[in-house]
Amino acid sequence: MSESYRNVRGMRDLLNKDSIKKQIIESAAREVALRYGFEEINTPVVEYSSVFNKTLGESSDIVTKEMYNFEDEKGRSLTLRPEATAGIARAIHSNGLLGLGEYRIPLKLFLIGPMFRYERPQKGRYRQFYQLNFEFFCDPCPESDVEIISLAYNFLKKIECPINLKINSLGDNKSRDNYKKELIPYLNKYKKELSTDSQNRLEKNPLRILDTKNNNDLDILSKAPKMIDFLSNESKKYYNETKIILKNLGIKYEEDTNLVRGLDYYKETVFEFKTDKLGIQQDTILGGGRYSFEKETINGIGWAAGIDRLIEIISYTKNNYPLASVVFNEELKNEAIVLVNKLRNSNELNGYIEIIYKGNIEKKIKKASKLNSKFIIFVDEKQKVKISNKLNNKKPIIDIKNTDEIIKVLNVNWSKT
Ligand code: ATP
Ligand code: MG
């Protein structure tokens, strides 16, 4: 197929059902956001590359392999955003949102939009994909961590997504330094057996090895020292309190000592919601954790959920058929159009109206039935309409100007007819 008819690899069109599911997911997120006091933020899709290089970590998968970088006409290095948090943190700075005034910590923001990563496309992994992001900028405390986890939990419950929560603590800097002192010598013993990716990480960022999806690496890691045994007293207390509050809220979780997350900015609490429906390579539907930027001047906890993966999981049965379709005799076309306009703009009607423009009256009726319309409204007599009810064959005739009466007939409780 010629390029002008093809999608860019890894970038797909979301059609029909998938777009409706996307909208259901986003509406659920907006409803939950409202209940938890989160406000929407929209940042640009394009940022200066330094926004990401600096925050995500020079050795992260995203920065090393996955970014869509390009230069603009003036040679400035720009990037299509691969994730939302770095841009939101940039926006907080650019707009002074942590200062005095309307915005102040705790600052609760959410963002919905497309992200771009140059990855190998497969089911649940695309080069343009959609994310929901929730960010809670606040001083670190276990209560805020649980608040953001419970938000994620209740959002997934709302869209009837099976819930499997994994948590871990990465501790503070001290904890991680102590852990690395044990982990690096252990992994060095197996250096030759590790995957090339993990070998490279051993030098640059050994903790990231825990995030591997390679089975042999996972085997080696199963006997490695565990982060949890190296937590400082403060981090241990923080983690224990977080778990107690989760229990109090009845939120079930499993501890996963290998859970690390892919970016440099995380510390203390990290968490992921997994699914068994998409295969091990794409099994995370939502992930997040506590982070700090700018030498700990910006603290927060947040998560991102992959909308494309949620679309695969949630079920949806199409039920948006026309409440009524209008068919008309050619000489009464104007009357039919005026009626449809009135009905569509009434706040009282419980459904939507279709109008069939083409064909003779028989063809129009056929089309209306094909659309699964509950009622067919006939405009085939001057000043009058006939409303045919698919279920009971009743055909009341009503004055075309009496919109209230027409609406009353259409709004009849369908299950009782
Ligand atoms: P993975 O380990 O699957 O690559 P990740 O750690 O890179 O995920 P995050 O950066 O935490 O993912 O992004 C949060 C969520 O966004 C993921 O849990 C996933 O649901 C979704 N996601 C990430 N990358 C993609 C992608 N390329 N296509 C579709 N969804 C994605
Ligand atoms: Mg990834």
- Quick one: average pLDDT of 336-361? 95
Q: What percentage of the chain's residues is helix, strand, coil (to nearest 5)? A: 40, 25, 35
| Cβ–ligand 1 contact at 284 (below 6 Å) | yes
| Stretch among 105-109, 252-256, 348-352, 392-396 having the lowest mean pLDDT | 392-396
For residue 415, pLDDT over 60 is answered with no
Rg (CA), the chain: 28
* Nearest ligand to the C-alpha atom of residue 116: 1
* Closest residue CA from atom 6 of ligand 1: 262
The CATH architecture assigned to 3-172+252-313 reads 2-Layer Sandwich (3.30)
235, 212 Cβ separation under 8 angstroms:
no
Three-state DSSP state, 381: strand
| Cβ–ligand 1 contact at 273 (below 6 Å) | no
Nearest atom of ligand 1 to the alpha carbon of 310: 20
* Closest residue CA from atom 5 of ligand 1: 262
For residue 81, pLDDT over 70 is answered with yes
Alpha carbon of 79 to ligand 1 centroid (Å): 18
| Cβ–ligand 1 contact at 129 (below 6 Å) | yes
Nearest atom of ligand 1 to the alpha carbon of 62: 7
Any idea what the Cα angle at residue 263 is, between residues 301 and 229, rounded to 5°? 80
pLDDT at 318: 81
Which residues make beta-bridge pairs with 77?
71
pLDDT at 414: 59
**Percent of the chain scoring above 70 in pLDDT:** 97
Any idea what the Cα angle at residue 10 is, between residues 41 and 8, rounded to 5°? 100
pLDDT at 116: 98
Tokens (6 digits) for 133: 């992001």
**What is the rounded distance in angstroms from the CA atom of residue 326 to the CA atom of residue 361?**
11
Q: Which is more confidently placed, 213 or 147? A: 147
For residue 169, pLDDT over 70 is answered with yes
pLDDT band at 275; cut points 50, 70, 90: confident
Give the pLDDT confidence of 362-413 residue by residue, as tens digits.
999 999 999 999 999 999 889 999 999 887 778 899 999 999 999 999 998 6
Three-state DSSP state, 413: coil
326, 377 Cβ separation under 8 angstroms:
yes
* Closest residue CA from atom 14 of ligand 1: 304
For residue 156, pLDDT over 70 is answered with yes
- Quick one: average pLDDT of 87-99? 87
Three-state DSSP state, 394: coil
213, 280 Cβ separation under 8 angstroms:
yes
Pocket test for ligand 1, best of 125, 168, 284 (most atoms within 8 A of CB): 284
DSSP assignments along 325-373, one per residue: EEEE-GGGHHHHHHHHHHHHT-SS-SS-EEE--SS-HHHHHHHHHHTT-
Pocket test for ligand 1, best of 88, 131, 197, 218 (most atoms within 8 A of CB): 131
Three-state DSSP state, 114: strand
Give the pLDDT confidence of 1-39 residue by residue, as tens digits.
778 889 999 999 999 899 999 999 999 999 999 999 999
Location of each CATH 3.30.930.10 domain in the chain:
3-172+252-313
pLDDT at 309: 95
Alpha carbon of 114 to ligand 2 centroid (Å): 15
| Cβ–ligand 1 contact at 285 (below 6 Å) | yes
Number of residues in the chain: 417
Nearest atom of ligand 1 to the alpha carbon of 286: 18
Report the CATH number of the 324-416 domain: 3.40.50.800
pLDDT at 36: 97
| Cβ–ligand 1 contact at 287 (below 6 Å) | yes
- Quick one: average pLDDT of 38-42? 97
**What is the rounded distance in angstroms from the CA atom of residue 267 to the CA atom of residue 204?**
18
| Cβ–ligand 1 contact at 211 (below 6 Å) | no
64, 263 Cβ separation under 8 angstroms:
no
| Cβ–ligand 1 contact at 116 (below 6 Å) | no
Give the pLDDT confidence of 115-148 residue by residue, as tens digits.
999 999 998 899 999 999 999 998 899 999 999 9
62, 211 Cβ separation under 8 angstroms:
no
| Cβ–ligand 1 contact at 85 (below 6 Å) | no
**What is the rounded distance in angstroms from the CA atom of residue 182 to the CA atom of residue 160?**
42
Q: DSSP class of residue 99?
A: S
pLDDT at 102: 61
Tokens (6 digits) for 53: 């290089």
Q: What average pLDDT does the chain have?
A: 91
DSSP assignments along 229-289, one per residue: GG--HHHHHHHHHHHHHHHHTT---EE-TT---SSTTEEEEEEEEE-SSS-GGG-EEEEEE
Location of each CATH 3.40.50.800 domain in the chain:
324-416
| Cβ–ligand 1 contact at 117 (below 6 Å) | yes
For residue 251, pLDDT over 70 is answered with yes
351 contact partners, CB below 8 Å, separation of at least 6: 322, 323, 324, 374, 410
In 101-206, alpha helices (H): 142-158, 173-189, 196-204
| Cβ–ligand 1 contact at 133 (below 6 Å) | no
DSSP assignments along 32-91, one per residue: HHHHHT-EE----SEEEHHHHHHHH-TTSHIIIII-EEEE-TT--EEEE-S-SHHHHHHH
Closest CA to 389 of 401, 397, 399: 397
pLDDT at 416: 53
pLDDT at 280: 74
**What is the rounded distance in angstroms from the CA atom of residue 386 to the CA atom of residue 365?**
13
pLDDT band at 417; cut points 50, 70, 90: low
Q: DSSP class of residue 206?
A: G
pLDDT band at 208; cut points 50, 70, 90: confident
Closest CA to 202 of 190, 216, 213: 190
* Closest residue CA from atom 4 of ligand 1: 282
Nearest atom of ligand 1 to the alpha carbon of 305: 15
- Quick one: average pLDDT of 164-176? 93
Tokens (6 digits) for 101: 């005034």
Handedness of CA 14, 18, 24, 28 (dihedral sign): negative
* Nearest ligand to the C-alpha atom of residue 12: 1
* Closest residue CA from atom 23 of ligand 1: 306
* Closest residue CA from atom 21 of ligand 1: 306
Question: The tokens 């970590």 sit on which residue?
Answer: 57
